Structure 1
């Protein structure tokens, strides 16, 4: 199996595992909501979701050994397609036209945006200076939306801002995880000290990303999920350009195509948000666990989508 095919197979399998986990955890959340929020931890569906997320994390990490960060993150958007489709089949619930349109625009926009940059080929590890640049860029990109989310009084806006910060955290964690994998496997040797720093970074960013997801999903699910999925690969590209020395085309056609793709993805997020806020009556949507709840693991944001399409289940 060649390198490109390995990346496609592993990253796609990871995305499907995350999607199946989202469906399983959604079922657990709906059952818990029917029992006044009790029994979620003991639910078979919840434990199934946890195992599927761990499987997804392992597949994602292995994929990072064979391909670039951008390639793996790009294929991760398949979760956004697979999760609602699996949910509609398993839970026998129809998706609304707005959900179909929003999901399609988001996925097409992200895929088109990342298709404009080189995303194949093997990954590489950053040197010490690049690690510092990665840390600074990540801190700024996370801090700005979190600060804005804490001062806004609009819950939906705060959710999207926390989701954006979570996407940044997961992208940076994936970049550092790739560094660890390539260093440990001997594919791209480097100083032990920087490898340890990368491990510490993953251990910090992964739970922070999960916590930010918990904040993002308190008042909605579809739009924050789309936002995390959008920001994650886009920030991976930004890390490559600003911190890892990657260079991409900047011709007029490339820039115009990138702008069109970004507009399409943004429109998709807007449609998902509007479908959410115009859905079920207040109080009819089951809530996600508060910050500090019992979700964990690398890129576990997709499991936090415990009710993708939950509004439909209440109509």
Structure 2
């Protein structure tokens, strides 16, 4: 056990994370530091161990032959350590910690929480709203909901909802829209962090390559949606972001045309822990709420689908 005192634990964590995730950027995101800091930890740890664990090339890092067995044992050791920490921090299963993006929490989840509380009064939810990919093995998070392609390392992923995008705008801006090409006349509000562009929807309605005029851009999807509600432009939104505002009438989806992005909402859980009854109940409730919400959204007629009124 004395030998471990000659190597910094943070350095070993960095080595294990890079080896498991395959890149400095992914390891930095999991560890909550910069890629530069991870790189420095690798160099120091290799010096302390007296051997090269990664080959450096313009294409990135590759584990050396000498490094493979070391990384395999480190991964097993940190998995055991994470499980021990998780057991030590285990709380009453009546408290369920759910990690979600702030935008999903604010625009979809909070409107519906009373329904879960009424059905499961014995479960207290703790919502951890963050854009970071929380390590489920090494934290007290029981369940996460993420948006992406569903291929995150080290977690179990279950598809909840395929992401579809569609234009939304205020009722006033939607009044003169009759066909998809009319939307090109409207100013656009943009979510700078969106994983897709307007080309996804424009191509699906036969307008590939068309130019849009951007009025405002935001680094937060919720702010972009508020700008659309305020009548400042049209936004390309998705179901869980804009569904509630469309159902309430503060936004209009002027065309009944949606485009798939290739991404989706996924439940993610730790591979090293069993799912609690509370987590299973929450997942079932969310699925039912999503399905009902999509039925309600699909039932709202697109204003542009109706014939223009006679003069």
| Higher relative contact order, chain-length normalized (CA < 8 Å, sep 6+) | 1
TM-score normalised to the size of structure 1? 0.24
Would you tell me which structure has more strand in proportion to its own residues?
A: 2
Larger Cα-atom Rg: 2
Would you tell me which structure has more helix in proportion to its own residues?
A: 1
